[in-house]
Structure formats: structure tokens, C-alpha cells
Amino acid sequence: MSLDHHVPTASTPLVLREAPGAERVLTAEALEFVAALQRRFGMNLHALMIARQRRQERNDNGRLPDYLEETQAIRQGVWQAAPVPEALADRRVEITGPVDRKMMINALNSGARVFMADFEDATAPSFANIVAGHANLLDYRDGTLTHDDPKTGKSYRVGENPALLIARPRGLHMEEANVLLAGRPVSAALFDFGLTLFHCGRALAATGRGPFYYLPKIESHREAAFWNSVFEFAQDRVGLPRGTIKATVLIETLPAAFEMDEIIWELRDHIAGLNCGRWDYIFSYIKTLRAHPDYVLPDRAEVIMDEAFLAAYAARLVKVCHRRGVHAMGGMAAQIPVRNDPEANEAALARVRADKLREVRLGHDGTWVAHPDLVPVALAVFDAEMPGPNQIRTPRQEYRLLPEMLLRPHEGRITEEGVRTNISVAIEYLAQWLSGRGAVPIMNLMEDAATAEISRAQIWQWIRHGARVAARDGTERRMDAAWLDALVQEEIAAILGRTGPGGFHRGHYASAARIFQEAATAETLPDFITTPAYAVLNALD
Ligand SMILES: CC(=O)SCCNC(=O)CCNC(=O)[C@H](O)C(C)(C)COP(=O)(O)OP(=O)(O)OC[C@H]1O[C@@H](n2cnc3c(N)ncnc32)[C@H](O)[C@@H]1OP(=O)(O)O
Ligand SMILES: O=CC(=O)O
Ligand SMILES: [Mg+2]
């Protein structure tokens, strides 16, 4: 593999690393497109990231999130977004997964209406993974996405009626460290969006099946306006009519939950819906309210969708979406099939079924599943409860969602089991992430970047506020850094016992434990665990 296909100049991006497939993905024209986006929008993005910090400082100084006064007219106005295209009218079950070749084919063939090809929560963003993901999308475009597994002898081909593909680029806070423009890394979000649009946009538009996107981790309507400008610029440049791109915005940060109308308004020509990204949302709740002792959450397992701030947010999302004529998508239950234990498997499926029933009855127009075996489970619920393609026009009793309802914490205990589980999940997940895997089964649950963020943020929050923990021996003790240190050492000993020294080293467990412990004991909660982890991942890649 050589980099001869791309000779850098001062004004073109410099690609620092080789990766299989790069000669097809990182063509001079495609890189020039990414560079054009970066030149035009890089400074705006920088300003938006500073605005995030400023808002967080205000939250840290005692302010609580609230509806914005200056956008009241948008919230109260009678208006709707541009109509959702026919291809997206019925999206009752969407499967998500990393941009791994075999999994993409499995997802496209899963029977779900939509497949979200995820460069974000489900993908560890090594350059190899990212470039391979983009190469897979090129093959999807060309009808050549096939895979022959030498280990199992299984052959994978995309079948008839594949799921509709929606791509999720990385979040606005991420950089692609391996592609520099004028000496600075380009935005990972612009990189992923730019490459997918440049390579696949026109082909998808010609079939009426795209280009469609999920937009992650947006924190404000200004960020939505940013994406809208990116879409307009990008469509003009590749020769697509404005309004061709349709995005579904994940409402997965607490600040964004207060700006749902405004986000739809800013993207009104380019939006198809909002989605309850519940896992990042819980993480964002902890992060946004990190300085406030009254908002400490109980064990992660007790932070459930039908209560407190999560129930209020889901209800608001359905209400706002339907008022504005777009889809209100549900989210991901963490349960996945349990192999070799029929009873545990049935219990997991029952949890997923109950979650999907709650969503469809609340008014959601579709939902997410993490695994092909869960597609029929979710489909059965939505088919039984949702006779039409969606519920956008189904009238519903609406009630006013006050700011305090969107902020109300769950009640429940913090237990030693909860503390130990968070430590174990965070270290195991980070080790897998550093090994190149972004979605992982741990203790029979789907874990990805969002769920792992909750685990590590909870430990930080409990230390910061000296939470009282119900210990195994029946006593109560305060969470502190010294106890965390002892528990991390125990966890490391247990992992070493399981893996042996070679496996421990190869599995990157020491780095994982260090990244986790530093983040959990930092003076200020670090914004994203994937930022320090990315520096390590990129050095390993
Ligand atoms: C918070 C959020 O952002 S949620 C969205 C992001 N997260 C995700 O997308 C998670 C997606 N899910 C997954 O990655 C996986 O299901 C995991 C990691 C949870 C479990 O993976 P595994 O333990 O490997 O699952 P399992 O062994 O049961 O897989 C069985 C088969 O289903 C396939 N499969 C499992 N999940 C998926 C998926 N989401 N998409 C496509 N195929 C899948 C496997 O590749 C495997 O295929 P094969 O039989 O052809 O080899
Ligand atoms: O991206 C989805 C989430 O739950 O986080
Ligand atoms: Mg998320």
C-alpha cells in the first residue's frame, strides 16, 4: 500500500497514515471536498465547541438548563418541517451497528427497515476501521458489498429488499488525527460526512434512498444551524438540490432536550426526525449537572426509561416531532440475545419487548435494535400496535413538560454492586475499544461508547459528591478515590487471572484502567472519555 495517490501540497490535506482501501476512499477529489468543508466550516465549529464550554461553565456555576427566552416564538409558532420523503415514511425498526463489512451485510439483510451504519458510538475510530467503513460504503453503492469469511467458510451477500442505509458520522467534538489541513487535524464529523456524501450522495439520490444521516451528540440549535449550512454548501458543491439530504437528529444531550423545536426549525428543509439517544442522554445529564449535588443518579440499572427525567424527555420528543411533522424515533434497549441460556435469553427478549411496547404506546414511530435476532421482536410489537406507516398524525393527549420534569433525577440506591459493575464495564469496554472494537457484549448487555461513558461518569459523580454506597457487608460507606483505587486493583487482578500476562498486555487492559481511573478522579469531569482514549488508540493503530 502506498500513499502515492495523494501528494500533499500546502492547501490540500495531508494523510499521515496508510490504510487498506485508502486509494479508493481518499482520492484527491474526495480529500479536496473534505478540505473545502473544513476551510469553510472549521472556524464555526471551533466557535461552537467554545460555546459548549461556556454553557457548561454557567451550569457549573449554579444555573440549571431551561427553555431559551430568545426562541420562544419558534417554540410557540405554528409551522412544520418539509415533508419526509417516501423512502423514510415507515421506519418502524432500525438496526444499528459498526461499519464492519460482515455486520453491515447482516444488518442490511436483517429484515429491519433501516440500517444505521455507525462511525460513532459503535465504532472504535482507528484509521483502519474508519477507512474500511468508508470503503464498505463505496461497495454498498456499487452493489459489490460481499464478504467471504475464511474462518467459518460463510459467504455474505446483500439480498433482496435490503434495509435503507443511514450513515452516522462521528460527533462534532472529534478530530480525525490522521488527516491534516494546514497542519491541523480535520473535523471527524466533516470527514465522515464529506466522504460519504462525495462518494455516495448522487448515487443514493438517484434511487430516492438517500443521502440520509443520523447526527449525534448535538447540544444546541446553533449546532443544528451549523449542520444545515454544511448540508447546503455540500449539496451545492456535489450538484444535489437543496433539501435532498435528510437527517435524523439524536436528542442525546440534556441541553438539546430544551431546544427540540429550535433544532427542527434550523434544519427544517433537511430533517426527517429526532431520536431518543437514551444512553448518551443519561451521560449528558450527569455531565451537565455535574456540579449539582441534588442530581446524583442511583445505580445505572435503576436509571430506566419510564421514570423521572427519561420519561419526560421521551414524551417531549414525541410531542415536538409530531407537532412539526417529523418522526419521533425510539432508542436502544441494552439487552441482547443470551446464547446457551434459554431462560436468560427469554428474560432479555421480554425486556426488549416491554421497552418497544412502551415506545410505540408513547407515540414513537419506530425504534432501534442492536442485534438481528431482535428485529422480529421489535417488528412484532410495532406491527401489532402501529397499523399505519407511522404515528405522526395520530392525535394524542398532550401535557406541558416543565423544565423541572426534564431534570427530575431517578430515585434509588447506589450499591457496591453498582460501583463494581461500572468499574468493570468501563475498563473492559475501553480495553476492547483500544483493541479496535466499538460495540461489545459485556455481562449480556450491549455496551458501546455511550453506555461506557455513563459507567465512568457515574464513578466520577459519586466520588465528587461523596455518595453513600450500600456495601456488600450491609454497612454504608462513602465513595472516594482511595476506595476506587482498591477496587481498580482488584479488577486488574481478576482480569489478569482470566487473561494471563500476555493477554492482559495484548488486550490493552493497563491503558484502559489508567484512562478510566484518571477520568474518574479528575478534578473536573472530562468531556468525553473517547478523547484521551483516541490519543492512545491512534498511537497503537
Ligand atoms: C448507544 C448507541 O449508540 S446504540 C447504537 C450503537 N451500538 C450498536 O450499534 C451495537 C450493535 N450491536 C453489536 O455490535 C452486537 O450485536 C453486539 C456487540 C452487541 C453483540 O455482538 P456479538 O456478541 O458478536 O453477537 P452474536 O455473536 O450474537 O452475533 C450473531 C450474528 O449476528 C451478527 N450481528 C450481531 N449484531 C449485529 C448488528 N448490530 N448488525 C449486524 N449483524 C449483527 C453477528 O455479526 C453474527 O453474525 P454471523 O452469525 O454471520 O457471524
Ligand atoms: O446513540 C444513542 C445513544 O443512546 O447514545
Ligand atoms: Mg449516542
pLDDT tens for each residue of the chain, 541 residues long: 344 444 444 578 899 999 999 999 999 999 999 999 999 999 999 999 999 999 999 999 999 999 999 999 999 999 999 999 999 999 999 999 999 999 999 999 999 999 999 999 999 999 999 999 999 999 999 999 999 999 999 999 999 999 999 999 999 999 999 999 999 999 999 999 999 999 999 999 999 999 999 999 999 999 999 999 999 999 999 999 999 999 999 999 999 999 999 999 999 999 999 999 999 999 999 999 999 999 999 999 999 999 999 999 999 999 999 999 999 999 999 999 999 999 999 999 999 999 999 999 999 999 999 999 999 999 999 999 999 999 999 877 777 899 999 999 999 999 999 999 999 999 999 999 999 999 999 999 999 999 999 999 999 999 999 999 999 999 999 999 999 999 999 999 999 999 999 999 999 999 999 999 999 999 999 999 999 999 999 999 6
Give the distance (Å) from ligand 3 centre to CA of residue 100: 18
Task: Please identify, by atom number, the ligand 2 atom nearest to the C-alpha of residue 168.
Answer: 1
Among 116, 133, 137, which residue's Cα sits nearest to residue 124? 133
The per-residue pLDDT for 541 is: 67
Task: Please identify, by atom number, the ligand 2 atom nearest to the C-alpha of residue 331.
Answer: 4
Q: 445-472: b or e for each residue (b if 16 or more CB lie within 10 Å)?
A: bbbbbbbbbbbbbbbbbbbbbebebbee
Residue nearest to atom 3 of ligand 2 (CA): 277
Q: What is the DSSP letter of 123?
A: -
Q: Please state, in angstroms and rounded to a whole number, the distance separating the CA atoms of residues 453 and 300.
A: 11
Q: What is the DSSP letter of 460?
A: H
- What's the Cα-to-Cα distance from 422 to each of 72, 176, 206, 297, 476, rounded to whole Å? 40, 29, 47, 13, 18
Residue nearest to atom 9 of ligand 1 (CA): 97
In sequence order, what are the residues at sequence separation of 6 or more whose Cβ sits closer than 8 angstroms to the Cβ of residue 6?
A: 12, 15, 26, 27, 28, 31
Residues with CB under 6 A from ligand 2: 121, 250, 252, 277-280, 331-332, 450
Cis peptide before 211 (omega within 30 of 0): yes
Give the distance (Å) from ligand 1 centre to CA of residue 95: 9
DSSP 133-177: HHHHHHHHHHT--EEE-TTT--EEE--SSPPEEEEEPPPTT-EEE
Catalytic site residue 480? no
Residue nearest to atom 37 of ligand 1 (CA): 371
Task: Please identify, by atom number, the ligand 2 atom nearest to the C-alpha of residue 332.
Answer: 4
> Would strands 468-470 and 445-447 be described as parallel, antiparallel, or unpaired?
unpaired
Residue nearest to atom 1 of ligand 2 (CA): 277
User: At residue 527, what is the residue type?
Assistant: D
Q: Please state, in angstroms and rounded to a whole number, the distance separating the CA atoms of residues 513 and 533.
A: 11
The per-residue pLDDT for 308 is: 98
The structural domains of the chain, ordered by start, are 23-406 (3.20.20.360), 416-540 (1.20.1220.12)
Residue of 250, 253, 305 best suited for mutating to test ligand 2, as the one with most atoms within 8 Å of CB: 250
Task: With beta carbons less than 8 A apart as the criterion, state whether 246 and 167 touch.
Answer: no
Residue nearest to atom 19 of ligand 1 (CA): 446
> Residue 214 CA: which ligand is closest?
2
Residues with CB under 6 A from ligand 1: 95-98, 102-103, 106-107, 118, 121-122, 279, 332, 336-337, 370-372, 439-441, 446, 448, 450
Give the distance (Å) from ligand 3 centre to CA of residue 11: 34
Among 116, 205, 105, which residue's Cα sits nearest to residue 149? 105
The per-residue pLDDT for 411 is: 97
Among 33, 185, 190, which residue's Cα sits nearest to residue 119? 190
Q: ipTM of the assembly?
A: 0.99
Q: Please state, in angstroms and rounded to a whole number, the distance separating the CA atoms of residues 147 and 514.
A: 37
- What's the Cα-to-Cα distance from 241 to each of 230, 236, 270, rounded to whole Å? 14, 7, 11
Catalytic residue from among 52, 168, 268, 316 = 168
Query: CA 418: distance to chain centroid?
Result: 23
> Residue 281 CA: which ligand is closest?
2
Give the distance (Å) from ligand 1 centre to CA of residue 109: 13
Give the distance (Å) from ligand 1 centre to CA of residue 198: 28
Q: Determine the Cα angle at 171 with ends 165 and 177, to 5°.
A: 110
Task: Please identify, by atom number, the ligand 2 atom nearest to the C-alpha of residue 448.
Answer: 5
Residue of 281, 283, 335, 367 best suited for mutating to test ligand 2, as the one with most atoms within 8 Å of CB: 281
Give the distance (Å) from ligand 1 centre to CA of residue 455: 21
Catalytic residue from among 139, 448, 464, 541 = 448
Give the distance (Å) from ligand 2 centre to CA of residue 273: 15
The per-residue pLDDT for 243 is: 98
Residue nearest to atom 2 of ligand 2 (CA): 277
Kindly report the number of other CB atoms within 10 A of residue 182's CB atom: 14
> Residue 123 CA: which ligand is closest?
1
Give the distance (Å) from ligand 3 centre to CA of residue 518: 23
Task: Please identify, by atom number, the ligand 2 atom nearest to the C-alpha of residue 283.
Answer: 5
> Would strands 476-478 and 468-470 be described as parallel, antiparallel, or unpaired?
antiparallel
Catalytic site residue 477? no
* 214: enclosing H helix or E strand: strand 212-215
Residue nearest to atom 23 of ligand 1 (CA): 441
The per-residue pLDDT for 465 is: 98
